[in-house]
Amino acid sequence: MKTDIKILQINDNKYLIREAIAQDEKIIIALYRSAIGTEFCTWSLDYPNIDTFYMDVKDNNLFCICNEEGEIIGAVSIDKDDNTDGLDCWNKSLGKMGELSRMVIREDYQNKGIAPEFIKFVMEIMKSRGYKSVHYLVSKYHKKALKAYEKLEFILVGESDLFEHNWYCYEKVL
């Protein structure tokens, strides 16, 4: 099920959001790799990887955002992960829940208000697919991300040490 594209106007710039396709592999994997080693990034050469990319594309769960020239400048996935979904902190009584995962914005496009608008759009997609809530794990030390989720009215519902990292667990009713 391919979704319609969305044009976002942020400040004086236009951005296009669409589902990622197999041909986007090299660009999105390069974006993932470019984040490795940056402050607060918990990724490695093993994750996210090509298998993760193709699983997300196959399930129509990987979205990319492009600048006016058509270059992919960011990506985010709707993830189904039993380990994360199984945490006790989530409000499972809400019904179908999903995780936002693997969020990346190219460094030269960070701090321009793109990520929150991108996340809002993907949450709209989730709602249209029947999700009742969305959750996210974020490094306890990632101050920029923590501020962004607060602005989006995510609620801190717990903490976790999944995947050998210290996370805050944020949730939002859709």
Look up the CATH number of the domain holding residue 54.
3.40.630.30
Mean pLDDT over the full length of the chain: 92
172 assigned to some structural domain: no
DSSP 3-state of 54: helix
Inform me whether the pLDDT recorded for 60 exceeds 90: yes
32 assigned to some structural domain: yes
139 assigned to some structural domain: no
137 assigned to some structural domain: no
154 assigned to some structural domain: no
Whole-number pLDDT of residue 1:
47
Query: Higher pLDDT residue, 12 or 2?
Result: 12
Residues above pLDDT 90, as percent of the chain? 74
147 assigned to some structural domain: no
17 assigned to some structural domain: yes
Domain assignment of residue 122, given as a range? 6-132
Residue 85: Cβ-neighbour burial (10 angstroms; 0-12, 13-18, 19+): middle
In this structure, what are the phi and psi dihedrals at residue 16, rounded to the nearest 5 degrees? -110, 130
Inform me whether the pLDDT recorded for 3 exceeds 60: no
Query: Higher pLDDT residue, 166 or 131?
Result: 131
